Amino acid sequence: MKIWFPLAAAVVLTACSETPVAKTPVKPPEPLTGRQAFYQTYPQARTWAQDAQPVRVRSLELDELKADGGKAAAWEVLYASQAKGRSRVYSWSAVEAQGNLHKGVFANQEESWHAGGSDKPFLIQALKIDTPEALETAIAHSGTYFKNAGTKPHPKFVLEYSERYPDPVWRIYWGDSVSTAEWSVFVDAATGNYQGR
C-alpha cells in the first residue's frame, strides 16, 4: 500500500504537468498570380513530356474563393508536346470546386495536337510579366472604360500567342468570356508593353 501511493501520485502529477500541444492553424486557401500558377503546373507537365511547352494560361473564377489584384482562385495551363503530338491541360486550384477542379495541380486527359494554327507554344522565358503588372498596365490604358458608370466585372486573364503580336500576350478582359467582354487589353508578356485593344 505504501509503495503504490507514491507511484500513483507520480503518475497523476506527470499527467497534469504535460503542456497541451499547440495546433498549427490551418492556412486559408489563397489565390495565385498567373505566373505562380504556371510554375505550380510546369514540373508535372515536364514529367508527362520532356518537351512540354505552354500554349495557353487562363484564369478561372470560382464562387468558393474570390480573387483580385491580378490573382485568381484557379488557373488552367494548356501544354503541348511536339514529340508526342499531344496536348494536355493542367489545372491549379486553391480549393475543390465544380468543373473537375481539384485542390492543387490536376492533370486532365491527353488530346491530339499538331503544330500550327492559333495553338502555338511559347518559350517559358517569354513569361516575364506577371498578371498583377499586366493588370496595372491594362488599367492605365483603360480610362475610357472606367469613366463609364456602373459596376465592372472582375478582370480575367488569358496568355497566348496572337497573330497580331510577335510575343505572347496577356489578354486582360472584363466580362464573362473573351467573345462577350465589355473591354479587353493586350499586354506583352515579355516586355510589359501595352499592345492595344
What lies within 8 Å, CB to CB, of 63 at 6+ separation is 97
- Alpha helices (H) in the chain, listed in sequence order: 4-17, 34-48, 131-140, 143-147
Q: Are 42 and 35 in contact (CB under 8 A)?
A: no
What lies within 8 Å, CB to CB, of 143 at 6+ separation is none
84's grid cell:
508526342
Question: How many Cα atoms occupy the beta-carbon half-sphere of 166 within 13 Å?
Answer: 3
Task: Look at the chain and report how many structural domains it folds into.
Answer: 1
74's grid cell:
484557379
Q: Are 152 and 175 in contact (CB under 8 A)?
A: no
pLDDT on residue 131: 98
Confidence (pTM)? 0.84
Whole domain around residue 132: which residue ranges?
32-196
pLDDT on residue 192: 97
Residue 1 lies in a domain: no
Residue 187 lies in a domain: yes
What is the number of other CB atoms lying within 10 angstroms of the CB of residue 154? 12
What whole-number distance in Å separates Cα of residue 158 and Cα of residue 104? Answer: 20
Q: Are 113 and 85 in contact (CB under 8 A)?
A: yes
What is the number of other CB atoms lying within 10 angstroms of the CB of residue 34? 27
Residue 6 lies in a domain: no
Picking from 36, 46, 39, the residue whose alpha carbon sits closest to that of residue 132 is 36
Residue 25 lies in a domain: no
What whole-number distance in Å separates Cα of residue 154 and Cα of residue 174? Answer: 6
Residue 16 lies in a domain: no
Residue 26 lies in a domain: no
pLDDT tens string, the chain, 197 residues long: the values are 455 555 455 544 454 445 556 677 777 889 999 999 999 999 999 999 999 999 999 999 998 888 889 999 999 999 999 999 999 999 999 998 887 889 999 999 999 998 776 689 999 999 999 999 999 999 999 999 988 888 889 999 999 998 889 899 999 999 999 999 999 999 999 999 999 99
Residue 141 lies in a domain: yes
Q: How far is CA 120 from CA 1, 98, 108, 141, 163, in A?
A: 86, 29, 19, 27, 10
Residue 9 lies in a domain: no
